[in-house]
Amino acid sequence: MLTIDAMTVGRSLFDQRARSDSTPIALGESQWEFIDRSARSEVAPVRVLLNTWFAAYPEPHRGGLLGQLRSRAESQFRAAFWELYLHAALSASGLTAEVHPTVPNRTTRPDFLVQGPKGPFYLEARVTAPSQEEVAHRNRTGSIYEALNRLDSPNFFLYVQVEEPGTVSLNTRTLRPRLLEWLAGLDPDAVLEEMYDEDVSSPDPRPAGLSRLPRFPWVDNGWRIEFRAWPKGRLRGKAGVRPVGIPGGVQVGYVDDRSSLKHALEDKVTRYGELDFPYVIAILVSSHTIDQTDLADVMYGTSVTVVSADRGLVEFRRRDGVWAKEGAHAVAAVVTVTDLQPWTVGRLSPIFWHRAGASSAVEPLSSWFIARLANDSISVEIEEPDLAPSELFQLPHTWP
């Protein structure tokens, strides 16, 4: 098990103090704030691990990393966390990594110069970012949740379903008193009884649950939201309990994860020009929906199937992958991992994508998946890691 010794304490991200707040992460709360204040048993090991990684990070560069990690901006935290993770993974694999090395004839500096088994290579870290439209939408929705969490609702949680988001901020001053009036007219015990009464008209009778919760629709300024009242159990009547316990989600259009990943890669592909050592780009993909097919299409080109009159179904890849970009021959490999969080580092393994048609001058870590384009130039072969991430970081399988 990881412990923090006396030397580490002076170089910690998080101080050792008694913590009493076990509430879930709040809407609008940064990951840093949540990890720092939480008394939950599963968060304490995360603090220990991040403290250990931070103590091992080269001292001259800790100050800048600390500022980013403690930022309220999620993008800043994720970028710094990704660099911290990569440094820890390289170190745990027995490799040394120089932070922000100088590059001949360049003023810009990559994130790391790694001494690998096949020789040195540069490693550049990047995090995909949501579009400006997505960020604006999240901010508008977050401000609604924030306003609702200031409601005094002793008997009910609110399940919130944004069925149609507006393009401007919602006026919550009008909404809040109407919600309070509606909640005040509900009997929590009667709602519970109705909620768990079997729906005998169904061919498969079962507790009706959400379908029988009282509903309160709200339409205003382009927004269409449905609220449902969920009776509180043991927390009924307790002060300081946020009512928005169950954000239901939002109906949104197609999310173009591939474009955000392509943009992140293209931003880095030619950033340093010709380098004296192989160049690897490591991308933390901030998406819940992107899959290996999407990743492979971004790396090696979009897979297409067409019907030919003489050959039937024909498969091929378009020349729109990352290595089709001018100057991309300088990139020896790309590393990706999807939605890595501080509490999932023991479970998620990055994927090392070999450059198509070339043997890599860089040896991937034993805890990484290895992906390469097959001889047919269409299918992708993926090898399993030799080492689980929990083994790499010497964490229990059930961590945290």
Task: Answer whether 121's CB lies under 8 Å from 114's CB.
Answer: yes
Over residues 86-105, the mean pLDDT reads 95
- Percent of residues, the chain, with pLDDT higher than 90: 50
Over residues 49-65, the mean pLDDT reads 94
Distance CA 353, CA 265 (A): 13
For the stretch 108-165, pLDDT in tens is: 899 999 999 999 999 999 999 766 666 677 778 878 888 888 888 888 888 888 888 8
- Residue corresponding to tokens 């039937």: 312
Compute the radius of gyration of the chain from its Cα atoms.
25
Quote the pLDDT of residue 314: 84
Amino acid residing at 202: S
Tell me how many degrees the CA angle 374-365-104 measures, rounded to the nearest 5: 95
What is the full DSSP assignment across 212-263? GS-EEEEEETTEEEEEEEEE-STTTT-TT--S--EEEEE------HHHHHHH
Half-sphere exposure of 234 (CA within 13 A, CB side): 0
Quote the pLDDT of residue 205: 42
Amino acid residing at 395: L
Over residues 67-74, the mean pLDDT reads 89
Among 75-89, 133-147, 216-230, 310-324, the range scoring the smallest mean pLDDT is 133-147
> Has residue 200 got a pLDDT over 60?
no
Quote the pLDDT of residue 151: 87
Over residues 78-94, the mean pLDDT reads 97
Over residues 34-54, the mean pLDDT reads 95
Q: Which residue has the higher pLDDT, 339 or 309?
A: 339
**pTM for the predicted model, two decimal places:** 0.75
Quote the pLDDT of residue 301: 92
- Least Cα distance to 330 among 267, 285, 399, 281 occurs for 281
Quote the pLDDT of residue 250: 46
> Has residue 6 got a pLDDT over 60?
no
- Residue corresponding to tokens 């924030």: 146
> Has residue 180 got a pLDDT over 60?
yes
Quote the pLDDT of residue 124: 96
> Has residue 26 got a pLDDT over 80?
no
Q: List the beta strands (DSSP E) in the chain.
A: 96-99, 112-116, 119-127, 156-164, 215-220, 223-231, 246-250, 279-285, 303-308, 312-317, 331-338, 351-354, 369-373, 380-383
> Has residue 1 got a pLDDT over 70?
no
Over residues 222-235, the mean pLDDT reads 87
List, in order, residues 6 or more apart from 5 with CB less than 8 Å away: none
Quote the pLDDT of residue 381: 94
Quote the pLDDT of residue 258: 80
Distance CA 379, CA 303 (A): 9
Quote the pLDDT of residue 8: 40
Over residues 9-31, the mean pLDDT reads 81
Quote the pLDDT of residue 207: 45
Over residues 40-51, the mean pLDDT reads 95
Over residues 271-291, the mean pLDDT reads 88
Quote the pLDDT of residue 130: 66
Enter the tokens of residue 195.
């909620």
Q: List the beta strands (DSSP E) in 4-136.
A: 96-99, 112-116, 119-127
> Has residue 12 got a pLDDT over 60?
yes
> Has residue 87 got a pLDDT over 90?
yes
Quote the pLDDT of residue 3: 42
Over residues 349-371, the mean pLDDT reads 90
